[in-house]
Structure 1
Amino acid sequence: MLLDASIFSRAVIAGYDVKRSQSKENVEMVVGRLTGLYGDVLKYSNVKIIRAPEKFDDGSLFREVGGRNIYKIFEVPAGITFEKLIDELSKINYYPAIFPLYLKGTVGGFTASNGSGFGSYKFGFVKSARSVNELIGYKTVRITAVKYPELLEVENENKFAWSAIINKDGTIEYYIPSFYNKIIKVNSRSIATDKLIKGINAEILNVFKKDYIPIVMMTEINKDINFNFEMRIGYIINYNSPKRFKVLIGSLEETRLPELFDYLRKNPDVLPFPYLKEYEEIHKDILKDVKKYEVKIRSKRISKNVIIEASKCINCSLCLDNCLAYNTTNNVIYSPLGRFNRLIRGESTFEFCFGCTTCQEACPAGINISNLMELLPQFSETKEKLPIELTDPSASIYELEKNLESKYRNRPVFLLFVGCSAKYDPLGLEGFLNYLLTNGDKLPQEFSPRIKLVTGFCCGFNEYLTGNLEEAKNGVNRINQLKIQQNAVGIYFLCPEGLYVYNKFSDQKGIFAFDVIKNELKDKEVHLGCWAKKMGYNSKYNDCAGLFLASYKGSPLKIVKRNFLTVCPFSTWKFGTISVYSMFLGKKEVSELKEENIMDESSVFDLLVKGVKNGLENSADEIAEKVIMWNLGGGQYFLLLAIPIISKYISIELIRNLSSDPKVKEFISKFAQNRSILSQKVSAYTDYLRHYNFDGEIEKLIDKVANSTKLDYSAKDVVKTNDFRSVIKDALKKAISENLIENVLNNIIYL
C-alpha cells in the first residue's frame, strides 16, 4: 500500500477516535512526504513504515522509457515530490500530464490515491478508463509527460482544453497547450506553463493559515456546494472520468468543523476529497458519530493541551524544507508532522529534536512546534542516552584563571562553566579568559573578570534534550551549590545551550558570555544558533549545526563550511568556523585561525570516512587468521586481537587518503603551528568517525572474512554469529581513538 494522505482527511480525522477501527493485521505502509500516518494507517496496530525513495540508486530523478515528440513516458522515484519533478522536467520543457495543485505531495502517493488536478479536464483521474500513471512496486512510478512550455488561456469551454481552473470569484479559465494554436479559432492569450504553475501554487499556499483547516470538496459539475468557506481555487474533472466533477479548495475556521460535518451528513453528493475506498468506512464513522471537534487522550503521561496543539497540524509539509532531522534521515516520521501524527495515533515514545525553530517559523498554522519538540521526549518511558565527552582544560587555561584571580581580587567572583567547551572549543575558552584579563577594568558593574572555572561535568543540556529532566535539574543544582561554596555572584556560559538549561531550572539567571564581548565585535557576522534564538537573541545566521552529533538515527550529519564567527562550540567544529571568543587570543593565533579556515573541511571528513571504509576492507584476511583464537579464548580474547589489526589498517588508509589530496595535506600541515588547533581537530575528527554509521562496511568485512582463504575451517561457524558481528563493531569503536587520529595527523604533518 502506498499513500500520501490528503490534507482534508488529516484535518478531519484529527478529531476522531479511530482506536476501535484498528486491525491487528500486519501491513507494510509506504509513505511519502505528505503522509500524515492517518487514514488507512490508523486501521492497523502492526504497521511497518517504509520510506518511498526520492531518487534512483544512481542519483537520477527521472529516466525516459518510451514515447516521442510531444508525449513521453518517464519512470520516476515514487517518493519524489511534484515540486522537484516539475522543476527537473521543465528544464527539457516537459510536464506531467496530470499533477496536483499543491506540489509538495509525492508522485507515488498521488498515483496510489488516484489523484486529479491540473490536467484533469483532459485526463480526469490518474487511474480511470485510461491510466495516466502506473505504480511499479513501491519504488517507481511510470508517468505520462507532455511537452508544452506554453499554454493558451481562454474564457469559454473548449474541447481542446487540458485544464480548467476555477478562480475564487467563480470564473473559469481554460488552458490549451500552445501546439493547438493553429486549430483553435477563439481569442486567447499565451502564458508560460511555469508561470501559471507558480501562480496556482501561491494561491494554494494562501489556504494554509493559523486557526484554519484546509478543506477540499468535490461534487458533480451541475451541482452546487452551498457551504460558506474561504474558497481560493478549484478545477474541473471532465474527460476520462465516470462523471464530470468540480473540486473546490479553501479554508475553514477550525471552530466551524462541526458545521462542516453537519453539512456533509446532509449533502451526500458533496464528498470530502479525495474520497477513497480505503477511507470510506472512516469517513462514514466521522460523519455519523462526530458531534464536536475534540481529541482523545491515549496516554496518561501526555497532557491534553499537547495533543490539541499537535492536532492543529494540517500536513502542508512546509516545515520539512528546513527540518534538519528530516533532511538528514530522509524519513518523515522524524519530522514535526511525523511526530505529531504519531502522537495523535497513540505513540508515547519520541526521539529528541535539534531545536532549530525553522519549522515553527515556516508553520502557517501557527503551531508552537519548537516547544512541542522539546516536550515530546519527556513523555518517553525510556530516555535516549546522549553522552557528551568532556576533557580537562589545558594548563594555559588554569594559568589564566590564576592570573585573573591575582589581578582582580577586588572584584566579586563569577563562575565560568566550562563543560564540553574544553573539548569542542578550547581556543574560544582561552580567548574569553584572555579578553577578561585584558579588558577586566572596562567591564560594566554587572560583569566581573574574576572567575572560577567549573569543570568535570556537563551542564545537563544532553539530558534535557532527551527528556530526562531530573538529571538536567541535578546538573543545574550542582552548579548552584558550587556558586554557594565559591561565594560567587554570577555565572558565565560560553554556549547558549548550557545557559538555556540553567535559566530553565534555576531561580537565578546565568550570563551569556557573548553579552560580555559583543560590543567589541562591531560589524562582524556572528552565528548565534537556534538555542540562543529561543532565548530572544537574533542574528543573521541561525543555521542548525546538529549540536555535538556526527549522525542522527544512523544518517551522517553534513559538515558544511561557513564563513561566519560562531558562539556555540558545536557549531565551531561542525561548520569549520572561528569561535567568536577566539578573536581575543593574541594576534598571531587569530591570523593562523583565519588562514586555516579558508578550506571547505567537508572534503577532509569525506576522506576520513573513506579511509575507515578502506581500512576495514583491507583488514579482512588478517582478521580471518585470528578467528581461530575465538575457539581458544572466546569473544573478548578475539576482541583484544582484532582492535590493533583494525587500527593498523585504518591508520594506513587514513594517512594514504588524507595525503593524496594536496589541499588537504597543506591544510593539515598548518596544525603544526598551533597545538591547540591540532587538539581541536583531533577531537572533532574522532567524534565524527565514532558517530558515523559503518554498519554496511562491517557487513562487507564479515562477508570477506567468511570467504577468506585465511579462515580456518573450524572457525567458519563463528563468523556467522551475531556475537562475532557485535565484537567487530566493538573493535571498530575502540580502534577509532583520539590517539589514532592524532598519530595519523602527525604523520601527515611531518611526512
Structure 2
Amino acid sequence: MNLLDISSACVKCGKCIPSCTIYGISKDETHSPRGFLDLIAAHKNGDLKLNKDLKKIFESCFLCTNCVEACPSSLRVDSAIEQIRFDINKKIGIAWYKKLAFFLLSNRKIMDIVAKFGYIFQSCAFHIQDSESKNEGMRAKFSLPMIKKDRLLISLSKKSFLNSNKDFIDNGGDESIGFFVGCLANYSYTNTAQSVLDIAKELKINVDLMKAQSCCGAPQYFTGDFKRVEVLAKKNIEYFEKKLESLKAIIIPEATCSAMIRIDYEHFFNSINENEWAKRAKKISSKIFIATKYFYDFTPLKEYLLKKSKKSLLVTYHDPCHAKKMQAYYKEARELLNTSYTFKELSDTNSCCGFGGVSMQSEYYDKSLQVGLKRAKQIDESMADIVSSECSACRMQLSNSLHQISSKVIFKNPLELIAKALTS
C-alpha cells in the first residue's frame, strides 16, 4: 500500500468532516480524515518523525469508516491509519497489557484456562449484573487501573461456548454450515452463539463448530500488531479452505469478525505484498456471511417467523460500522426483527457506537464514552424496550453507555431475539 498515493488523492473537499466520529467530539482538524492524511504525507516525505504525540493522534481514530463512505473517491483512510499504526508500533512498541491480551486471544487453550479462573474470581472484584431487566456485565467493587468503578464491563461465562458443545451438531438436515463464533461470543456473550444453534435446529441445518478456528485478528490488526495478524489470518484461511470443501458456507454472528475475514484479510495481505494470500482470502470470502445475512438469503427463516405470533416488545436497531459501512449489511437483521417484533428506527441510523478498539477502550476511554453517551441518549429517546445489533463490541460499548445514563433499554443481539421468537 502506498500511503502517499492515498494522501495525495485527497482533494481536501471536507465532505468527510461532518461524518467523522472523532472530529465530532474534538472539533480539531488534526483529528479528522484529511488531517490524518496530511500527517501521514508529512511523515512519508520525511518532514515529520513518528513519536508518542503522533501515536495518540492516530490512535484517536475510531476506524468507523464513515469517511470512506462519505468520500467521493472512497479513499481507504482506515487502511492508511492501520498501516501507520503498524509503523508507529515498530518504532515505539505495543503496551505490555495489549501484548498479553493478543497472546491470549491467539492461544485458545491458554485463554480457556485464564477464562475459567477469571470466571471463578471475577465475583471477588466485581458486581455481576445479569438479568432480563438490566444489561449484562460487571462493575468493579473498587477502582482498578484503567477501570472506573461505575463502568460496566463484560463478564466471563462459566464455560466457553466451544467447550460447551460437541464438534458437529447433526440436526437431520441435507446441508451443513460452519460456525465461526468470535472471541466475545465464545467467552462472554454465549447466548448469542447458542441462539445460532437454536435457529439452525429449527431450520434443520447441521452445524460444524470448526473448533480449530483461531481469533480473526481484528484487535491485533486495528492496533498495528501485523505479525500476529499474519499468523492468525493464514491459519484461518487454510482451515476455512479445507472446511469449505464439505460445508455450504461459514456464518459469523459478529460484524467485526465478519468484516475482518471477508474484507480486511484481503486488504491486509495486499498491504504487505502477499498477493497470493490476498487471492486466497478473496476466494473464501464468497462463502462467508454474517449470520443474519445467511439466514435471510439462503433459508426460509422469515417464512418460519411469519407463522409465529408477533411480540409486543418495541425493538430498535443500531448499525455496526463493520456491517453497514464495510459490508453493506443493514436490511437483513431489520426485516427479520420487524417480522417478529414492533420495530422502530433510531433518529440517526449512521452513528458509530464509539467502541473504537483496544486502545480506545483502555487508553482513551473518555473519548469512547463521549461518543457512546451520545448514541445511548438517541437510543433512550426512541422509547424502545430493546436495542439490537449484530456486534458484541457494540454490545459491550452500548450496554455500558446505557448503564451510565440509567436507561431501561436493554441490549440483545438480533439472533437472540430471532431465536426467542422462533422457539416460543
TM-score with structure 2 setting the length: 0.54
CA shift in 2, pair 1:326/1:423, >3 Å: farther
Deviation at residue 461 of structure 1 after TM alignment: 0.6
Q: Which residue of 2 aligns with 1:360?
A: 68
Q: Could you say what secondary structure the match of 1:325 adopts?
A: helix
1:535 is the counterpart of 2:327: yes
CA shift in 2, pair 1:537/1:384, >3 Å: farther
Q: Which residue of 2 aligns with 1:319?
A: 16
Distance 1:358 1:368 in 2: 10
Distance 1:585 1:394 in 2: 22
Distance 1:473 1:454 in 2: 20
Q: CA RMSD in A?
A: 4.0
Q: Could you say what secondary structure the match of 2:353 adopts?
A: coil
Matches for 1:639-718 after TM superposition, within 5 Å = none
Segments of structure 2 that go 5 or more residues without pairing to the other structure are 106-110, 117-156, 267-280, 332-344, 400-410
Q: Point out the structure with the larger strand share.
A: 1
1:508 aligned residue (284, 287, 310): 284
CA shift in 2, pair 1:359/1:348, >3 Å: farther
Q: Could you say what secondary structure the match of 1:550 adopts?
A: helix
1:496 aligned residue (255, 260, 263): 255
Shifted more, 557-566 versus 369-378: the winner is 369-378
Deviation at residue 502 of structure 1 after TM alignment: 1.9
The answer (yes or no) to whether the contact 1:546–1:557 under 8 Å persists in 2 is: yes
Distance 2:289 2:69 in 1: 27
Which of 1 and 2 has higher RCO (CA within 8 Å, sep 6+)? Answer: 2
Deviation at residue 531 of structure 1 after TM alignment: 1.5
Counterpart code for 1:527: H
Q: Could you say what secondary structure the match of 1:557 adopts?
A: helix
Q: Which residue of 2 aligns with 1:369?
A: 77
1:460 aligned residue (203, 208, 217): 217
Q: Which residue of 2 aligns with 1:565?
A: 388
Distance 1:493 1:343 in 2: 34
CA shift in 2, pair 1:542/1:436, >3 Å: farther
CA shift in 2, pair 1:483/1:360, >3 Å: closer
The answer (yes or no) to whether the contact 1:527–1:565 under 8 Å persists in 2 is: yes
1:450 aligned residue (207, 212, 215): 207
Distance 2:260 2:212 in 1: 17
CA shift in 2, pair 1:317/1:409, >3 Å: closer
Matches for 1:6-17 after TM superposition, within 5 Å = none
The answer (yes or no) to whether the contact 1:401–1:433 under 8 Å persists in 2 is: no
Write out per-residue CA displacement over residues 64-84 of structure 1, whole angstroms, 9 at most, x where no aligned residue: xxxxxxxxxxxxxxxxxxxxx
Distance 2:69 2:350 in 1: 12
The answer (yes or no) to whether the contact 2:214–2:236 under 8 Å persists in 1 is: no
Write out per-residue CA displacement over residues 505-524 of structure 1, whole angstroms, 9 at most, x where no aligned residue: 42412222122334538897
Write out per-residue CA displacement over residues 666-705 of structure 1, whole angstroms, 9 at most, x where no aligned residue: xxxxxxxxxxxxxxxxxxxxxxxxxxxxxxxxxxxxxxxx
Distance 2:94 2:77 in 1: 21
Counterpart code for 1:475: L
Deviation at residue 568 of structure 1 after TM alignment: 0.9
Distance 1:371 1:568 in 2: 21
Q: Which residue of 1 aligns with 2:42?
A: 345
Q: Could you say what secondary structure the match of 1:334 adopts?
A: coil
Counterpart code for 1:529: P
Q: Which residue of 2 aligns with 1:582?
A: 416
The answer (yes or no) to whether the contact 1:421–1:569 under 8 Å persists in 2 is: yes
Q: Which residue of 2 aligns with 1:472?
A: 229
CA shift in 2, pair 1:411/1:361, >3 Å: closer
The answer (yes or no) to whether the contact 1:404–1:437 under 8 Å persists in 2 is: no
Matches for 1:592-611 after TM superposition, within 5 Å = none
Matches for 1:479-490 after TM superposition, within 5 Å = 479-483=236-240, 489=247, 490=249
Write out per-residue CA displacement over residues 546-580 of structure 1, whole angstroms, 9 at most, x where no aligned residue: 33553554634123423542001111232232211
CA shift in 2, pair 1:414/1:457, >3 Å: closer
Write out per-residue CA displacement over residues 128-153 of structure 1, whole angstroms, 9 at most, x where no aligned residue: xxxxxxxxxxxxxxxxxxxxxxxxxx
CA shift in 2, pair 1:433/1:337, >3 Å: same
Segments of structure 1 that go 5 or more residues without pairing to the other structure are 1-301, 441-447, 591-751
Q: Which residue of 2 aligns with 1:438?
A: 202
Write out per-residue CA displacement over residues 592-614 of structure 1, whole angstroms, 9 at most, x where no aligned residue: xxxxxxxxxxxxxxxxxxxxxxx
Distance 1:424 1:396 in 2: 8
Counterpart code for 1:544: C
The answer (yes or no) to whether the contact 1:565–1:578 under 8 Å persists in 2 is: yes
Write out per-residue CA displacement over residues 414-438 of structure 1, whole angstroms, 9 at most, x where no aligned residue: 2433322234532212211211122
Distance 1:340 1:469 in 2: 21
Distance 1:462 1:488 in 2: 30
Distance 1:480 1:368 in 2: 24
Counterpart code for 1:583: L
CA shift in 2, pair 1:536/1:580, >3 Å: same
Counterpart code for 1:459: C
Q: Could you say what secondary structure the match of 1:450 adopts?
A: strand
CA shift in 2, pair 1:474/1:315, >3 Å: same
Distance 2:37 2:258 in 1: 28
The answer (yes or no) to whether the contact 1:428–1:582 under 8 Å persists in 2 is: yes
TM-score with structure 1 setting the length: 0.32
Distance 1:319 1:429 in 2: 36
Counterpart code for 1:512: I
Q: Which residue of 2 aligns with 1:182?
A: none
Distance 1:552 1:356 in 2: 18
Q: Could you say what secondary structure the match of 2:183 adopts?
A: coil
Counterpart code for 1:469: F
Distance 1:307 1:485 in 2: 38
Q: Could you say what secondary structure the match of 2:169 adopts?
A: helix
Aligned length: 280
Distance 1:335 1:497 in 2: 22
Deviation at residue 466 of structure 1 after TM alignment: 2.7
Q: Point out the structure with the larger helix share.
A: 2
Q: Which residue of 1 aligns with 2:119?
A: none
Deviation at residue 474 of structure 1 after TM alignment: 1.6
Q: Could you say what secondary structure the match of 1:459 adopts?
A: coil
Q: Which residue of 2 aligns with 1:421?
A: 185
Write out per-residue CA displacement over residues 219-278 of structure 1, whole angstroms, 9 at most, x where no aligned residue: xxxxxxxxxxxxxxxxxxxxxxxxxxxxxxxxxxxxxxxxxxxxxxxxxxxxxxxxxxxx
Q: Which residue of 2 aligns with 1:310?
A: 7
Counterpart code for 1:555: D
Distance 1:543 1:455 in 2: 35
% identical equivalent positions: 15
